[in-house]
């Protein structure tokens, strides 16, 4: 890599000469050029002077400063800037060592690798790197690069020291009017969200890639070969109402791998706003069908029970047994029979007496 800035790190009385390398590559991102739609020719940008309307060559382009709210422009030369007192012009002065959590990620601007510049810088460079890593701290300081002074943060990363230029605190805009008002959340929703966070696991950086860039490259290749361009899949349009709890539960099951292999994840319960009335009507019809089905089942059950009762033969009721082992019904019948026999014999005796009296008379 080619170094873009040479300077030194001031660490107390220790000076570490370093070379700076860009840690990011933005050339791989998708970028477009402006063309004339009529003939496809690329449009050129020319520097035109507002006074005479003529094109200005690059060697005649200089710097100027325009104060906010003022139309006057003050010319500034490189010689003027060189005379300014800027101790951080070639030196990154470390001001303090802080915890990484104290740096707001919104302040992160650009990232650079710092490497030792010369054999004499190797040992102090390694010392600072190991101290940052073992102490779990980051160094905070100021540095001047490309004509401006910036805050800088140093941290150990993959055996090297990385410098992040930071925005000044007054360059951060407040979030006023961005966040919603107080929203009432249920305890189970928060628990499911945290469970889903734990279930997703770690992320493999090798799996990350720019899908949009790949789609653009495929589109360009298809146009060059004269092939038809496949239409993009249309997404769901319109606002949607989501059952948050159901969506979280299904997401947790999918993240834990609870579904069978080869089956797709069941979509979250989503109902478009425009179709809410239709959905309610369908739910009402389903409810009515369920009720009528339940009533029919009850009526069928009653008919079956009555038919079974008619077909079933009457069971004989067993008479309760007496203490002697004989049934009460049997002993009662015998007593009734003996009484009837006694009455008949008494009637016969009475009739015989009457007949004898008549014959003697």
> Over the stretch 7-19, which tens digit does the pLDDT of each residue have?
899 888 889 999 9
Between 69 and 170, the more confident residue is 170
Contacts with 255 (C-beta within 8 Å, 6 or more apart), sequence order:
196, 199, 200, 201
pLDDT level of residue 130 (50, 70, 90 thresholds): very high
Question: What's the CA gap between 29 and 12, in Å, rounded?
Answer: 40
In this prediction, residue 17 carries a pLDDT of 93
pLDDT level of residue 105 (50, 70, 90 thresholds): very high
In this prediction, residue 166 carries a pLDDT of 95
Whether the Cβ atoms of residue 47 and residue 55 lie closer than 8 Å to each other: yes
Enter the DSSP assignment of 42: B
Give pLDDT tens digits for 195-228: 888 888 777 888 888 888 888 888 888 888 888 8
Between 1 and 342, the more confident residue is 1
Q: What percent of the chain has pLDDT over 70?
A: 67
Enter the DSSP assignment of 172: S
Between 258 and 270, the more confident residue is 258
Distances (CA, A) of 348 to 23, 339, 343, 355, 357: 138, 14, 9, 11, 15
pLDDT level of residue 254 (50, 70, 90 thresholds): confident
In this prediction, residue 91 carries a pLDDT of 87
Give pLDDT tens digits for 35-53: 999 999 999 888 999 999 9
In this prediction, residue 314 carries a pLDDT of 43
pLDDT level of residue 165 (50, 70, 90 thresholds): very high
Q: What percent of the chain has pLDDT over 90?
A: 30
In this prediction, residue 349 carries a pLDDT of 55
In this prediction, residue 209 carries a pLDDT of 80
Is the confidence at residue 159, as pLDDT, over 90?
yes
Strand partners, 36: none
Q: Which of 61-70, 116-125, 260-269, 327-336 has the highest mean pLDDT?
A: 116-125
Average pLDDT over residues 133-151: 89
Give pLDDT tens digits for 262-292: 444 444 444 444 444 444 444 444 554 554 4
* Residue/partner pairs of 146-155 with CB below 8 Å, 24 or more apart: 146/5, 147/81, 149/86, 149/88, 150/109, 151/107, 152/92, 153/103, 154/9, 154/92, 154/94, 154/114, 154/128, 155/100
In this prediction, residue 235 carries a pLDDT of 54
| Averaged pLDDT of the chain | 75
Give pLDDT tens digits for 287-332: 545 544 544 554 554 544 444 444 444 444 444 444 444 444 444 4
Q: Which two tokens stand for residue 102?
A: 């104290």
Give pLDDT tens digits for 232-252: 665 555 455 568 888 888 888
In this prediction, residue 204 carries a pLDDT of 81
């Amino acid at each position: 890599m080619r170094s873009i800035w040479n300077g030194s790190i001031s660490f107390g009385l220790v000076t570490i000469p370093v070379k700076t390398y860009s840690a990011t590559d933005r050339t791989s991102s998708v970028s477009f050029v402006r063309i004339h739609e009529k003939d496809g020719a690329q449009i050129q940008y020319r520097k035109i002077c507002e006074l005479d309307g003529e094109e200005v060559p690059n060697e005649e382009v200089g710097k100027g400063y325009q104060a906010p709210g003022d139309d006057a422009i003050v010319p500034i030369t490189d010689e003027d800037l060189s005379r300014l007192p800027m101790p951080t012009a070639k030196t990154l002065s470390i001001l303090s060592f802080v915890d990484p959590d104290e740096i707001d990620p919104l302040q992160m601007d650009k990232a650079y690798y710092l490497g030792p510049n010369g054999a004499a810088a190797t040992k102090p460079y390694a010392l600072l790197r190991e101290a940052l890593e073992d102490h779990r701290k980051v160094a905070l300081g100021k540095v001047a690069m490309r004509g401006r002074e910036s805050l800088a943060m140093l941290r150990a990363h993959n055996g090297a020291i990385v410098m992040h230029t930071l925005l000044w605190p007054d360059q951060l805009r407040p979030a006023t009017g961005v966040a919603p008002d107080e929203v009432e959340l249920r305890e189970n929703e928060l628990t499911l969200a945290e469970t889903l966070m734990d279930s997703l696991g770690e992320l493999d950086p090798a799996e990350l890639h720019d899908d949009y860039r790949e789609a653009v490259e495929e589109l360009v290749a298809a146009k060059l070969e004269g092939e038809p361009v496949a239409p993009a899949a249309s997404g769901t349009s319109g606002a949607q109402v989501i059952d948050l709890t159901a969506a979280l539960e299904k997401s947790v099951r999918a993240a834990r791998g609870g579904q069978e292999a080869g089956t797709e994840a069941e979509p979250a319960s989503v109902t478009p706003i425009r179709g809410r009335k239709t959905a309610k009507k369908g739910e009402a019809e389903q409810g009515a069908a369920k009720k009528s089905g339940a009533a029919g089942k009850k009526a069928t059950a009653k008919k079956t029970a009555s038919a079974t009762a008619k077909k079933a033969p009457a069971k004989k009721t067993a008479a309760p047994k007496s203490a002697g082992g004989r049934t009460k019904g049997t002993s009662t019948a015998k007593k009734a029979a003996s009484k009837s026999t006694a009455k008949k014999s008494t009637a016969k005796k009475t009739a015989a007496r009457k007949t004898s009296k008549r014959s003697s008379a």
